[in-house]
Structure 1
């Protein structure tokens, strides 16, 4: 059974959680957390690398011990060290570590004082008011715990888009190779490029006598067959992702693709428009009485109700139907529009590769410029640099830029926004940079008013040119910071500070609804990878998925310009 990178990363993350609860050496805990990040960010499956004979210790941050663990997981699907450690704790105790505000010490305190061993136990105790009396807790903590449990359970029902891709794309290729298959595509929220997906809907057009159902049922990652018929089947893959397969006739392919792409509200609105014209629209086609008048293509479905074709990313019933009817649909930004990347890290701080390696890899991807944005001193966990060390770092970047042809290396930093809203480097160092990226990394639990004031003060600084991952969320793990984002977005628009759309698979931050809100305020944007290794530079497309869902055109994204145009546009208002 194939083992995917997301599964290896999940085992490492679980092991790190239990090590932390146990009180193990922090460096050991960090090694496994970093390994999980490295594995999740790789563009190649670890299993494939092992099969090709790649030495895993060539990966920055992976030593002999971690490489051996990866071999063990790929070979057996297990991590025995995790199983031994898990035997020392209640089975579901580590689940509590996923809740914001509950670190290992607090989890241990809850377990020792109240016998809490699972999320259900924790919810029970909170609802009964038994947590507020513990030292270090209170009524507010109890309320926050209940809210965090609810948010966590909602998030666990969905899979990050990038994780779904790793599983779904090989399966799609497997099915597309079936006998008699003409076309195969993944529909649903996956095609709309939502940041998370609930399940995977695969639509296939095939000739009679095809063997696509057999290909699905016999796929090596299928753990359970829920149902199977002549034209539809449902399976559960290893890891829990559900796949629904439907085989449709060629004449209905466009209508079925429109129907199963969704979303539901969008589809209902289109059907209502059809009813007003005396048409019936469903997954089989567009019908006038019993006569099918359209359905072979999605464009033909939209044309029957007087609409231009609507890109899948916009199909959320958020004004796209009116825009299509009035000829106002945006020409969405695309990967080919991107000319530079404004956020990456090197092995000077917490990255895996040198600045030169990152620049050469960016050039190979067609980028014309790359900002090197290593961390500042406040982020000690990421080996952040002191002002003196940063001055030397900027000298090195300037020399590298002079030495390289075909790509401009921009001197930059990801500067921490301190709790009072000031920036983590002195003005004289910031003034030497080509571009300054600012971000919040700590103090995530500040009260709403303080968190908002912190961001607003940072935006007031003339040095703050890009606000990185503005909500600080981690999909499925950490909720956005509590700040008045309406005020923050307005301030960004007013000052001219660009808002980053971070393409890191676990962030995808800004969320699409906030992109659209900020666009309405007149804000500017950049899309950036937040790459920590050369492989990560290729994930720009994930950030562009978010940008497209937020209705952005190339003109709205500053790094669609050449380097001189970008630097000129970056000047604050």
Structure 2
């Protein structure tokens, strides 16, 4: 793509901002700002003119700035800007994107409180420290928090697991009012999105004024953004924004549907209503000016000729067509899981012993777990310490005797190396009941290399589960570049399950890849990857993610009884060079010390 005038102007504006923060010569700063305006408003594109061997004579753009324009057009970079950025912390420039924070204010924040990131700014504003800086004050502090909250909505910056306890606690607090009939969590939280932007609450009752006063006086409210007779908006101590709306009972279902979203799903339903000469909005479903549905969500769907569509499916990804055809998935339920095939203990990844993990799993109603600790902690100067594995086997036997009500499988989580081989030799893998393979490093390989790496790992005849296949970490580390469809088809051909890792900062597979797996009929293993007994409860988060991805109980291997699990694990894999689409990927698995 060519470098546009707007791109050059943006670079010059950032240079001016950083020069101003550095207290550089004001004439130089003005020169870059003036040049940015001139370039942005110039009617011809510089990349076209330079390509024709021309450079226009414009006021305020001398030889030095001309050279920088040429550099940016030719390379997409500016060495001066890169040098200036190196003088600041990595996320310092993000502060300049907050409305109302110019270079001087950013400089004051840094000098007064050492603030160099949006996260630090939010924490300082919530603590009431920003208002004490000369030139700020309480109103500016509140405006900053509001702007950060809006930015968070657009970027979707909160892991749902950290948000839901806050939403549930606030909803519970509000429900204690005698004037409240119903209150619900709506928005992306209700749709079970893994990362959410804010909290939406919807209520109905007899006194909206009392509800709003109770809402605004909640103990964790740090900033009130808006107060009104039927709507309020606040920021909690965590920095997340909460919007509360009060609706009449006859509109409750329509409003719950509207504020649950998603926007594309709502638009699609409104178009269906229009095609039937009806109107759908947050107040109800209307025909000839008369409300015909809206007190419940079910009434809205029924009046449109549709069955109820679960909130987690409402993303306009085919759910409406499936509903019309009577083909909505029978989503996996929270009590369908019978076991957990990826569990860590104090050997040495986790906090609890094998007996403690087994005991908690049995209390949760699980019928089996697989102990799959990492091997790298058992590697010394002479290589893999086989004695540690033998000692763990002995402890598993002891736990089996103490807890005969739950089956404990002997397993391991082995690392997939850059070339697709594993960090544990086959001679040890064949002694285990189950092998979980995972990428743990070299996340930045090219799509082709990363795909080949996973395909080679799937060729190992001992691998049963590919853990957290995209290797993402929420909210900061993006997924690896990989051809997931090719990986899924290889896993299906070889009888290997792809993991849906339930850790709240992973939830990997994501919902789109879950839907792909469902359509490709690839086995899924919903695992906790628990490192202490409490984290076994994360399995519920995995179920949430699976439901968003259209996953049914029959798609998930660990909804089966242990006899079926043992049969699956005992199935021989295809020969390593057999699958046609893996030719060139499957070689011999080298033995490792």
Paired residue for 2:465? 466
Paired residue for 1:162? 161
Q: Alignment partner of 1:308: what SS?
A: coil
Q: Give unmatched runs, 5+ long, in structure 2.
A: 1-81, 97-150, 575-593
**In 2, are the aligned partners of 1:227 and 1:235 still within 8 Å (CA)?**
yes
Label 1:209 to 1:261 Cα distance change in 2 as closer, same or farther (>3 A): closer
Label 1:261 to 1:556 Cα distance change in 2 as closer, same or farther (>3 A): same
Q: TM-score, normalised by structure 1?
A: 0.72
Once residues 122 and 334 of structure 1 are traced to their aligned partners in structure 2, the CA distance between those partners, rounded to angstroms, is: 42
Q: Alignment partner of 1:412: what SS?
A: strand
Once residues 234 and 153 of structure 1 are traced to their aligned partners in structure 2, the CA distance between those partners, rounded to angstroms, is: 15
In the TM superposition, 1:329-348 aligns within 5 A as 329-348=328-347
Paired residue for 2:51? none
Label 1:263 to 1:379 Cα distance change in 2 as closer, same or farther (>3 A): farther
Number of aligned residue pairs: 435
Paired residue for 2:490? 491
Paired residue for 1:119? 91
Higher relative contact order (CA 8 A, sep 6+): 1
Label 1:270 to 1:229 Cα distance change in 2 as closer, same or farther (>3 A): same
* Offset at residue 113 of structure 1 (A): 9.7
Q: CA RMSD in A?
A: 2.4
Label 1:204 to 1:550 Cα distance change in 2 as closer, same or farther (>3 A): same
Label 1:379 to 1:275 Cα distance change in 2 as closer, same or farther (>3 A): farther
Paired residue for 1:266? 265
* Offset at residue 208 of structure 1 (A): 3.3
Once residues 484 and 123 of structure 1 are traced to their aligned partners in structure 2, the CA distance between those partners, rounded to angstroms, is: 36
Paired residue for 2:255? 256
Bigger Cα displacement from structure 2, 369-378 vs 306-315: 369-378
* CA offsets 1:500-546 (integer angstroms, 9 cap, x no match): 10110100000110111122222110111111101111111101111
Bigger Cα displacement from structure 2, 421-430 vs 340-349: 421-430
Once residues 410 and 224 of structure 1 are traced to their aligned partners in structure 2, the CA distance between those partners, rounded to angstroms, is: 51
* CA offsets 1:211-234 (integer angstroms, 9 cap, x no match): 211111001111111111111111
Does 2:220 match 1:221? yes
In the TM superposition, 1:381-420 aligns within 5 A as 386-420=385-419
Label 1:501 to 1:549 Cα distance change in 2 as closer, same or farther (>3 A): same
* Offset at residue 395 of structure 1 (A): 3.2
**In 1, are the aligned partners of 2:208 and 2:246 still within 8 Å (CA)?**
no
* CA offsets 1:149-201 (integer angstroms, 9 cap, x no match): xxx99996421000101221111111111221111110010000000111110
* Offset at residue 427 of structure 1 (A): 1.9
Once residues 257 and 385 of structure 1 are traced to their aligned partners in structure 2, the CA distance between those partners, rounded to angstroms, is: 56
Label 1:372 to 1:116 Cα distance change in 2 as closer, same or farther (>3 A): same
Paired residue for 1:476? 475
Once residues 380 and 189 of structure 1 are traced to their aligned partners in structure 2, the CA distance between those partners, rounded to angstroms, is: 44
Once residues 485 and 186 of structure 1 are traced to their aligned partners in structure 2, the CA distance between those partners, rounded to angstroms, is: 33
**In 2, are the aligned partners of 1:111 and 1:117 still within 8 Å (CA)?**
no
Q: TM-score, normalised by structure 2?
A: 0.70
Once residues 417 and 190 of structure 1 are traced to their aligned partners in structure 2, the CA distance between those partners, rounded to angstroms, is: 34
* Offset at residue 494 of structure 1 (A): 1.8
Label 1:548 to 1:385 Cα distance change in 2 as closer, same or farther (>3 A): farther
Once residues 425 and 320 of structure 1 are traced to their aligned partners in structure 2, the CA distance between those partners, rounded to angstroms, is: 43
Paired residue for 2:274? 275
Paired residue for 1:539? 538
* CA offsets 1:310-333 (integer angstroms, 9 cap, x no match): 001100000000000110001100
Q: Give unmatched runs, 5+ long, in structure 1.
A: 1-109, 125-151
Label 1:466 to 1:497 Cα distance change in 2 as closer, same or farther (>3 A): same
